[in-house]
Structure 1
Amino acid sequence: MADLFIRGATLQGRTVDVLVEGGVVLDVLAHDPARCIEAAQVRDAAGLVLLPSLVDVHVHLREPGLEYKETIATGLTAAAHGGFGRICCMANTKPVNDAGAVTAFMLGQAKKSHPNGPWLHPIGALTMGLKGQDMAPLAELAEAGCVAFSNDGLPVLDSERFRRAMEYAADLGKMVIDHCEDPFLAPGTGVNESALTARMGLKGQPSVGEAAQVARDVLLAGYLKLPVHIAHVSCREAVELIAWAKAKGVDVTAETCPHYLCYTQDAVRGYNTLAKVSPPLRGEDDRLALIQAVNEGVIDFLATDHAPHAMHEKEHPFEEAPNGISWLDTALAKCWELVRAGVIGEERFVMAASTGPGERFGLGVNRFRPGDPADIVLFDPDAVWTVTPEALHSKGKNALCLGETLRGRVVAHYLAGVAVI
């Protein structure tokens, strides 16, 4: 007897039945209304989209140290309801995740609150305290369970140090993820350098400050013949450099985020701190370049850069408010607007948001083939809901789409065949 029988779901345009047993996909069959399968649980999925659980390789959880913004438990709950089965959390906690004990604490908290998932995969600090100087104990962090290393939010400007970190990480079978911004060219003001922000009296971050660091990273990766992953790409110039590097055979992957695909710098009008993020929202030309790059595979992955903050912090004057957007609850529904409109194909979306990052970082991948982990999302593409603070499971209510009416919502989520919502 199967553990789970999902009947009549839509998988990339096909209506299918799915059998799950022992935590894995047993079979995926063309839907037959007359089919009767004995299973411990039968789920009628007519009208629902069948997706593999999403994999988010760029999340900020605030535990330890800043639990008033987010805890590991609340972040994982938001992930479950948002369709994410695996999330990779950055190291900028207090204390910084630059020691195996911090990694072990994070994993322990995740296991305690969500024993059946979603699964937490810590990303260790590249340098001690994220200060860009002394290298963190990468071997210790890897042994404790870190899947990659990053100084996210505080780039390593010293190229020699960055090179050595790439080499050491590669020796451990891990990869470096880089936040590409030159803080001298692009201080973290959270807005694009443009005529709009100049009129608003705000100091902006030019896209060249991002692109310059991308150029360094891909040149180093090519020279060393080592992999590198570029975080939260926001501008056309960075896309062009990544495309050039890939054409040269450099082992580089890159991600972008829902806010760069769905919004532009116009969102900061009225000094809207919910749109303050680093790298900043750019112009329409950049947004269109990013969409094209996702469709062409130049941008490999979609990641949220989920950055929860307390709303009282976002209510500060614009220049004092923290950078970041809360996304785990809403990213799938917001990105599905692009899929529904045909702007990004469903197959490409699944590759970018699930199977691609899962493969790159050595995490579980479900392609709905026999033996694949039964990490399954049932998504109602027609469910209409309004994004209110009460509708969000994350402690971070600082969603850029706050107040918007979205169409599409996760109605069931299984990890290894076990329901997690």
Structure 2
Amino acid sequence: MRTILTNAKRLTSSNELIDCEILIEDGKIRKVAPEITEQADQTIDAKNNLVSPGLIDVHIHLREPGGEYKETIATGTQSAAKGGFTTVCSMPNTNPVPDNVDTLEQLQHKFKEDAVVRVLPYASITKGLKGEERTNIKELFEQGAFAFTDDGVGIQTANQMLQAMKEAAACGAAIVAHCEDNSIVYGGVTHDGEVSKRLNLPGIPSLSESVQIARDVLLAEAADCHYHVCHVSTKESVRVIRDAKKAGIKVTAEVSPHHLILNETDILENDAHFKMNPPLRGTDDQQALIEGLLDGTLDFIATDHAPHGEEEKANGFLEAPFGIVGLETAFPLLYTHLVQKDVLNLYELIDRMTKKPADVFGLPYGTMEEGAAADLTIIDLEKTAKIDRYQFASKGKNTPFHGWEVTGFPVLTMVNGKVVFKEDSDA
């Protein structure tokens, strides 16, 4: 099967948009050139839109098995495709948890059956995410676990984390951490700052995140392990990670779109669509995250897509679960609020949503080089629309961005040369 993308624009490293056509054959990119004269079985007109490597998100929650009322593998990956993502990595807080080879294998089989984009599964660090008994990291890694995390809960004891890091390092796996010291969370539901006081809600101190990162980077140095920090949210965390990188420690980190675009002052009332963990922090934290993304302290962007039922999120900050959806809103929000406002350029944004996550985890994706997998996203940089949560492919409608007007929408997504999303189509 030979496909040609015509009338496309590609982005150069100097942030220039130039004309190109792309020949795809057997799921691979065979040629990228200003013009392609070969014959093909089908032609796709990109209509002078940007063609980017498929977006990569290493932090999403698919909820299946066990939480299918929130999201399924089918709906979650359809949401990813609509958002322009071609590779996503699913967190292990499901029921059952992928904490043994049999459960992981069953999950991988389900991905093959139901997923429309590539899904790489995390396995848990501890059995049942309970922080007590470690999983068999070597066996799970050999079965195809992407990396290891107890995302949603921090590993509370230093020895547990140290031993996990040693086992991961021995087989070349990464330890990925939700950093939170439970002893200083104090039952908080939002950032411990001015908004928690105004709304009379218990606050989550910034220290609960940064103090665990500080512990872990030293453990990672001792274990010689690749340690990756999830959804960084505080200025102190950025400082610790920056210092650790300068010391030569194998630490990488991600930041989520909502922490770059929002801060605690955007929470005007007790609306749990703004409840996520880590919470929206102060304006100084937000600025530190942007600076960290620009200088490479924070390596890339990941959505932490976390769907929940509508009734759950209607319960207010004290009762609602943490988390918001993000796959379908990530690119247009970031393009509108970072690129169009000259915080960073388009090349830098695409790089931090494609090549950077691929490089950090050694994935053979995130590129448009000849011979690479034909994972491509066509993005209409001129399209402007209001975010409508009721139009999401995701079952989750829990977003604080409903009604926001944004620009820059994916209009076609292709995985291994197969169209998995096309605007105004059920592809």
Q: Report if TM-score (shorter chain) is over 0.5.
A: yes
**Are 1:250 and 2:249 an aligned pair?**
yes
Q: Secondary structure, in 3 states, of the residue corresponding to 2:318?
A: helix
CA contact (8 A) 1:73 1:109 kept: no
Percent identity, please.
36
CA contact (8 A) 1:2 1:19 kept: yes
Tell me the C-alpha RMSD between the 2 structures.
1.6
More off after superposition, 4-13 vs 367-376: 4-13
Q: In the TM superposition, what is the alpha-carbon distance from 1:278 to its structure 2 partner? A: 0.6
- Distance across 2 between alignment mates of 1:3 and 1:43: 7
CA contact (8 A) 1:379 1:410 kept: yes
Q: Equivalences for 1:314-393 in 2 at 5 Å?
A: 314-337=313-336, 338-393=338-393
- AA of the residue aligned to 2:145: C
CA contact (8 A) 1:218 1:250 kept: yes
Specify the alignment match of 1:235 in structure 2.
Answer: 234
CA contact (8 A) 1:9 1:46 kept: no
Q: In the TM superposition, what is the alpha-carbon distance from 1:48 to its structure 2 partner? A: 1.1
- Distance across 2 between alignment mates of 1:213 and 1:111: 36
- Distance across 2 between alignment mates of 1:25 and 1:366: 12
- Distance across 1 between alignment mates of 2:366 and 2:89: 17
- Distance across 2 between alignment mates of 1:203 and 1:269: 16
1:360-385 C-alpha deviation (Å, 9 max, x unpaired):
22323242221111110001112222
Specify the alignment match of 2:96 in structure 1.
Answer: 95
- Distance across 2 between alignment mates of 1:8 and 1:396: 33
- Distance across 2 between alignment mates of 1:188 and 1:19: 55
- AA of the residue aligned to 1:415: V
Q: In the TM superposition, what is the alpha-carbon distance from 1:327 to its structure 2 partner? A: 0.7
1:51-89 C-alpha deviation (Å, 9 max, x unpaired):
111111111111111100001111011011111111111
Specify the alignment match of 2:425 in structure 1.
Answer: none
**2:32 aligns with one of 28, 32, 53:** 28
Q: In the TM superposition, what is the alpha-carbon distance from 1:241 to its structure 2 partner? A: 0.7
- Distance across 1 between alignment mates of 2:176 and 2:209: 14
CA contact (8 A) 2:174 2:227 kept: yes
- Distance across 2 between alignment mates of 1:174 and 1:202: 39
Q: In the TM superposition, what is the alpha-carbon distance from 1:108 to its structure 2 partner? A: 1.6
Q: Which runs of 5+ in 2 are unaligned?
A: 422-427
CA contact (8 A) 1:186 1:210 kept: no
CA contact (8 A) 2:3 2:44 kept: no
Relative to 1, partners in 2 of residues 1:365 and 1:281: Cα closer, same or farther, differing over 3 Å? same
Specify the alignment match of 1:395 in structure 2.
Answer: 395
- The normalised TM-score by structure 1 is 0.95
Q: Equivalences for 1:73-222 in 2 at 5 Å?
A: 73-114=74-115, 117-187=116-186, 189-222=188-221
Specify the alignment match of 1:298 in structure 2.
Answer: 297
Q: Which runs of 5+ in 1 are unaligned?
A: none
- Distance across 2 between alignment mates of 1:68 and 1:194: 34
More off after superposition, 3-12 vs 281-290: 3-12
- Distance across 2 between alignment mates of 1:324 and 1:315: 13
- The normalised TM-score by structure 2 is 0.93
- Distance across 1 between alignment mates of 2:194 and 2:340: 33
More off after superposition, 234-243 vs 137-146: 137-146
Q: In the TM superposition, what is the alpha-carbon distance from 1:404 to its structure 2 partner? A: 1.7
- AA of the residue aligned to 1:348: E
- Distance across 2 between alignment mates of 1:187 and 1:269: 23
Q: In the TM superposition, what is the alpha-carbon distance from 1:187 to its structure 2 partner? A: 4.4
- Distance across 2 between alignment mates of 1:141 and 1:6: 42
- Distance across 2 between alignment mates of 1:282 and 1:404: 21
Q: In the TM superposition, what is the alpha-carbon distance from 1:253 to its structure 2 partner? A: 0.4
- Distance across 2 between alignment mates of 1:336 and 1:187: 36
Specify the alignment match of 2:23 in structure 1.
Answer: 19
Q: Secondary structure, in 3 states, of the residue corresponding to 1:313?
A: helix
- Distance across 2 between alignment mates of 1:286 and 1:25: 41
- Distance across 2 between alignment mates of 1:46 and 1:3: 16
Q: In the TM superposition, what is the alpha-carbon distance from 1:188 to its structure 2 partner? A: 5.8
Q: In the TM superposition, what is the alpha-carbon distance from 1:122 to its structure 2 partner? A: 0.8
Q: In the TM superposition, what is the alpha-carbon distance from 1:168 to its structure 2 partner? A: 0.6
